[in-house]
Amino acid sequence: MADARSERRAARRAGRPNEPAAPRAQTPSVTEDRRRSNFFAESWAELKKVDWPGQAQVIQGTVVVLIACLVVGTYLYVNDIVWKHVVSKVFLGQ
């Protein structure tokens, strides 16, 4: 500790700025705790206002997404096969 202090003094005398102090571990203040508490209370209040979908609507949405994935996957698979043959015939001459 004495070495660090003497180095800082020497740096001041030489006109060099001090190195930044290491950050101290701080405990959250009362206002930070209150703000955090208010945030969670307000978030919970907003979640209560949400019009959540029913089970039938969730199932319907899931089916739509699965069908869309199947259609897009099939389209990409067929496109891949077609372009593989086109490239092998045109560019590779096979």
Interatomic CA distance for residues 84 and 7, integer angstroms: 70
**Residue 73 falls inside a structural domain:** yes
**Residue 78 falls inside a structural domain:** yes
Q: Which of 53, 33, 52, 51 is nearest to 41 (CA)?
A: 33
**Residue 41 falls inside a structural domain:** no
Interatomic CA distance for residues 4 and 18, integer angstroms: 11
pLDDT digits (tens, 9 = 90+) for 17-37: 555 666 666 666 778 888 888
Overall domain count for the chain: 1
pTM over 0.95: no
**Residue 92 falls inside a structural domain:** yes
pLDDT tens series, the chain, 94 aa: 567 777 777 766 766 555 566 666 666 677 888 888 899 999 999 999 999 999 999 999 999 999 999 999 999 999 999 999 999 998 888 7
Interatomic CA distance for residues 14 and 93, integer angstroms: 77
C-alpha distances out from residue 61 to 9, 44, 69, Å: 70, 26, 12
**Residue 25 falls inside a structural domain:** no
* Domain region containing 74: 54-94
